Structure 1
């Protein structure tokens, strides 16, 4: 306990502290430290001196000692508000948010007019997800110091997390007006633009932030997020590697790199990063969440759920996102009832949760009197969600709901709005795409398959199921993966990654050798083998592999290719009704979608003419739903496998399914989706014209 000082003693202590501060300001740290220690020897527990010792330790990088000194200082009834405020920030940096909140509240109670204390408390409350309280604290700072750029920047962060994006942007712009070269504000704007799908603006702000401060670690994370959103995972990985070169144990950087490596299908490396992030910061919900996502990709469902539960138990602003991740994990693993229950709980707790409503819409079969439709309509009405990205997502969810109810006019009104918003921020050139797809066919004339004798990996493990998105690839994979000799790997990026590493198509074929083709095939098999679960065959059902069927046969001559086909208009309408997780840039305009489908048909006609029938077949979705056993037997005969009745009960097969069609393959085959476009034909004029189809 601090002894009571006489006025004379207090004056002497203050003079000594002034001398210590002067020494510290002059860079004489050791002399200042020695003087503080002499003060404490004379007056044990003197709080102002302990506070100064804490600041000295913090400046020297000894954060544990700094916190210990400040904790001791704050035990004194005479401790200054500044000591509590600095303890608040130091504890926040260590992730000890509950104690930081207590210290922050003590600081503002001691000195209600202290802006720095309100600021530090506001940031802690922000990170704990207590956003309305955070807003109130930071608004006090702005009221006390209207010209404080940092206060406007921090208040903008809280408004962003509250979903009030216009107010967030207003305060960030004010921060930049006060401090034009404020790197933290530029990286916050980058984060906002990422969320709104304005990726070019996000990239520009992130790069501006790093130009101003190359040590600003959050800017690297935001730039990586931009590249990942654009499916430029290698570019994202480069930003994260730069970050971790500066701060090897940065938990957010490790968590982000783990998720990027997962997207690159480098799952063992992803797991190592995620586990390291959790070891470094066991109190980080972000790290635990990343670990859950990576464990899920490894097929370790129970461990993934446990990681999500650990994350939910930690203070953070991630609760909505974590509840959604848990629900999606249950859905992917065939536990739809539990997934729907979790989503109902999510939207009850977060009524404006756009991801929650959007995901729920994919699972539910709506009826016309479903009250959820009105709740979703309110989110795109006056006073609803603000960001373009959220409004776009809700238009797609409502489009799906009205398709379910049979209200064509309402469905296509929402889908047209959602697709127009997505198209406005999507870079796509239909003329260039047409020329590129023609060049793929030209690069593989009939004789090219004989130019490289002996080329390619010998493995017969791969089975490719490819075609347009929404054409039945997931259904075919699920039927095949119900066979005891076949594992389903889902939509793998391996082929596109190999092509990207080799220089892109078709230019990579220039100077190609049999040895390089063989190496590519062996690389692919090495990526595929860990997903085999001990089975001799693995299905890769990435639809876009239809672009590279010729190359697939060159690098994997013993692989089998199954082309999934479906009615052109049903396929395109299904594409038009989906806001894809990845970039399907051709799907967001009816006329462009129809034109792409025609280009796809031309390319598939070419592959049909050059690939050997022994290794390439086509399966029509309509034939599968009409007679599943006949088509399943046909596919297994093509693959050289014996018949197994389990293929007819594909909807009961327990395996993760990560695709936009996950809900459909958890049900028996139904015929109502065949020819469904005709009831909506009056609203599909541009698509039908592009496809050359007369609906009359």
Structure 2
């Protein structure tokens, strides 16, 4: 934001504080005409709504707030302002709901929580009153700078929040709330290495702080450090065997390291004590699905939905089995819940994607695309994603590795164990993994985060990643390669080779070959329209921010193609490209080609891959438990009239 813009906003705020509202409104309108910066437009619209409300024009304020929420549907302060507007209009129910929504998006809004306290006292809602009172007490106990930083973080102003939090910690070292907050900000900024260090320090300094322990546990699971998560959860349970948070983290950690039976047993134990825990039913469903017990998984998901009818994740989890078919009554219920003003944004997003899949199965393609588009639009508005920045990051990799590598000059860790499968999500990588994991010499694992973690740790050095790879000394490269092998050991069985199927690793092939020169790399390709549209229909658990816009996903695919062409130039013969359609046309020929590239003998089990029993956590888990089929080809064609943006980016001509 320019200094001129900052001055204009400061002047508007000053005018509001002096109750010079007509002048403030004039300044706001003028500033809105002169700016095209999203962050500033949002702030100006918010101030405009405040001016209207203070001018006793709540209906105009609500119209402005609707414009703002159309742009930023997760803007907590906008919902708080709606609460005050409805209160001014005497709409007590709408006011209460708006204050409630405000606290869901921004838990630091003390004013909204206090308004809810009054509501719960009047309605004699004792349970809600207890929870709200507890949260008000917690917020009031926070140091003012920490509360302010929380507010900034929830409103998406991460760098301002980080600055304020660091300033506080300079004077108050090891204050736990500030440490946890800075770790959360770091996680949102994807500086995971720093976040992990902060939380690990926090739980060491404050071993009885449950909030810190839960945050640390959640981050370990998010980063795929499941072995470390399991060990920490067991440590917590050794101090308190009834700790529900630790039990849940332990069960999720077990799923992560492939010990599904232990996870399922623990989930069932928790549900035996309290079968109304809808979140635990959902987690149980995930564990059962990963193990291949689809019927039982569906039952668990349906139980989660029955316990809380607006639980969007339960409906999306049913849709995300890819084989479940919704009844018309299910679709009607999902439509009703999705359109309700009381449904949380996150639940709406999940429901939109579930409805898209349900209506696609019913061949109602126009309505299906309406919900896919709505779900993607809502999700994208909650993200701070810029495809241009990602394209620049890929270009940076080319600059760091501009020449053909001399193999004998590479001194990384010489292990031949890892087989990396890279590419775009939904490109057929799970099928390739299942084929290879059916070989007696290869362990299948999952989408491991370890390379991304190593890249993140290198980003904290003085010289930014990937530019510091050019000066990475042999000893450090060796140690990083060895670290990767040691960290991933927990996901393996006893086979001499193992698969790392994190698709985003294609960006880091230079790093991989620097630290693991003997690693095998397989590039999973699929028809661009099939691949991109399949990604657009998918609500990912985390990451893959490029997938929530047809233009973004098309540009990402083009950037991926260019970077892979570069890697193939500088690393000739060291990357095997496998086209998904070729696997469908000639399974045995492509299986032999894959195994030959890996230096392994052909085994018949790779052709009957669907019979292989193993934990699979990706969306394609049920699809690869079936023989080869072609129904995934051309799924974009019924939606073609809505895909002009994508076709233009990919330079695809019309099928008509």
| TM-score range for the pair, normalised by the shorter chain length | 0.7 to 0.9
Which of 353, 360, 379 is equivalent to 2:318?
Answer: 360
In the alignment, what sits opposite 1:386? 343
1:649 aligns with 2:608: yes
Stretch of structure 1 that moved more, 596-605 or 369-378: 369-378
Q: In the TM superposition, what are the counterparts of 1:566-577 in structure 2 within 5 Å?
A: 566-577=526-537
Secondary structure class of the residue paired with 1:394: helix
Contact between 2:279 and 2:304, CA under 8 Å: does it hold in 1?
Answer: no
Distance 1:484 1:567 in 2: 30
In the alignment, what sits opposite 1:377? 335
Which of 415, 418, 440 is equivalent to 1:459?
Answer: 415
Q: In the TM superposition, what are the counterparts of 1:352-501 in structure 2 within 5 Å?
A: 352-363=310-321, 365=323, 370-382=328-340, 385-447=342-404, 449-450=405-406, 453-501=409-457
The verdict on how the C-alpha distance between 1:539 and 1:180 changes in structure 2, with shifts beyond 3 A counting, is: closer
Distance 1:239 1:265 in 2: 18
1:676-696 deviations in Å (ceiling 9; x for gaps): 212211010111111111124
C-alpha displacement of 1:368 = 8.0
1:390-416 deviations in Å (ceiling 9; x for gaps): 211211111122222222211221111
Which of 233, 256, 262 is equivalent to 2:215?
Answer: 256
1:505-530 deviations in Å (ceiling 9; x for gaps): 32122422233322222222222333
Q: In the TM superposition, what are the counterparts of 1:239-318 in structure 2 within 5 Å?
A: 239-314=198-273
Distance 1:421 1:457 in 2: 44
1:527-551 deviations in Å (ceiling 9; x for gaps): 2333331111000111011112233
Contact between 1:565 and 1:620, CA under 8 Å: does it hold in 2?
Answer: yes
1:83-110 deviations in Å (ceiling 9; x for gaps): xxxxxxxxxxxxxxxxxxxxxxxxxxxx
Contact between 2:415 and 2:519, CA under 8 Å: does it hold in 1?
Answer: yes
1:330 aligns with 2:288: yes
Q: In the TM superposition, what are the counterparts of 1:25-174 in structure 2 within 5 Å?
A: 142-143=121-122, 154-156=130-132
Contact between 1:251 and 1:278, CA under 8 Å: does it hold in 2?
Answer: no
Distance 1:314 1:226 in 2: 35
The verdict on how the C-alpha distance between 1:663 and 1:251 changes in structure 2, with shifts beyond 3 A counting, is: same
Contact between 1:357 and 1:397, CA under 8 Å: does it hold in 2?
Answer: yes
In the alignment, what sits opposite 2:566? 606
Secondary structure class of the residue paired with 2:522: strand
Distance 1:190 1:621 in 2: 47
In the alignment, what sits opposite 1:678? 637
Contact between 2:193 and 2:457, CA under 8 Å: does it hold in 1?
Answer: no
The verdict on how the C-alpha distance between 1:354 and 1:232 changes in structure 2, with shifts beyond 3 A counting, is: farther
Secondary structure class of the residue paired with 2:383: coil
Contact between 1:332 and 1:662, CA under 8 Å: does it hold in 2?
Answer: yes
Secondary structure class of the residue paired with 2:542: coil
Contact between 2:450 and 2:484, CA under 8 Å: does it hold in 1?
Answer: yes
1:617-673 deviations in Å (ceiling 9; x for gaps): 111111112222221121111111111111122222111112222232222221011
Contact between 1:252 and 1:286, CA under 8 Å: does it hold in 2?
Answer: no
Stretch of structure 1 that moved more, 347-356 or 683-692: 347-356
The verdict on how the C-alpha distance between 1:234 and 1:368 changes in structure 2, with shifts beyond 3 A counting, is: closer
C-alpha displacement of 1:290 = 0.9
Distance 2:283 2:167 in 1: 31
Secondary structure class of the residue paired with 2:639: helix
1:532 aligns with 2:508: no
Contact between 1:231 and 1:583, CA under 8 Å: does it hold in 2?
Answer: no
Distance 2:564 2:324 in 1: 36
The verdict on how the C-alpha distance between 1:290 and 1:530 changes in structure 2, with shifts beyond 3 A counting, is: closer
The verdict on how the C-alpha distance between 1:454 and 1:570 changes in structure 2, with shifts beyond 3 A counting, is: closer
C-alpha displacement of 1:269 = 2.9
C-alpha displacement of 1:433 = 2.2
Distance 1:627 1:638 in 2: 17
Distance 1:296 1:193 in 2: 35
Contact between 2:423 and 2:504, CA under 8 Å: does it hold in 1?
Answer: yes
Contact between 1:186 and 1:205, CA under 8 Å: does it hold in 2?
Answer: no
Distance 2:261 2:151 in 1: 33
Contact between 1:532 and 1:538, CA under 8 Å: does it hold in 2?
Answer: yes
Distance 1:661 1:314 in 2: 33
Distance 1:588 1:220 in 2: 32
Which of 616, 621, 625 is equivalent to 1:666?
Answer: 625
The verdict on how the C-alpha distance between 1:417 and 1:605 changes in structure 2, with shifts beyond 3 A counting, is: same
In the alignment, what sits opposite 2:301? 343
In the alignment, what sits opposite 2:539? 579
C-alpha displacement of 1:255 = 4.0
In the alignment, what sits opposite 2:598? 639
1:100-153 deviations in Å (ceiling 9; x for gaps): xxxxxxxxxxxxxxxxxxxxxxxxxxxxxxxxxxxxx9879835999xxx9997
Distance 2:146 2:352 in 1: 29
Secondary structure class of the residue paired with 2:608: helix
Distance 2:410 2:419 in 1: 20
Secondary structure class of the residue paired with 1:489: strand
Contact between 1:189 and 1:202, CA under 8 Å: does it hold in 2?
Answer: no
In the alignment, what sits opposite 1:92? none
1:507 aligns with 2:464: no
1:183 aligns with 2:142: yes
In the alignment, what sits opposite 1:628? 587
C-alpha displacement of 1:468 = 0.9
TM-score by length of 2: 0.73
Contact between 1:210 and 1:216, CA under 8 Å: does it hold in 2?
Answer: no
C-alpha displacement of 1:304 = 1.5
1:26-75 deviations in Å (ceiling 9; x for gaps): xxxxxxxxxxxxxxxxxxxxxxxxxxxxxxxxxxxxxxxxxxxxxxxxxx
Q: In the TM superposition, what are the counterparts of 1:218-257 in structure 2 within 5 Å?
A: 224=183, 228=187, 231-257=190-216
Distance 1:508 1:205 in 2: 25
1:315-372 deviations in Å (ceiling 9; x for gaps): 69x8111111111000001111111121122222322221111111112546585322
The verdict on how the C-alpha distance between 1:140 and 1:586 changes in structure 2, with shifts beyond 3 A counting, is: closer
Secondary structure class of the residue paired with 1:469: coil
Distance 1:653 1:230 in 2: 39
1:592 aligns with 2:552: yes
C-alpha displacement of 1:292 = 0.8
Structure 1 unmatched ranges of 5 or more: 1-136, 159-171
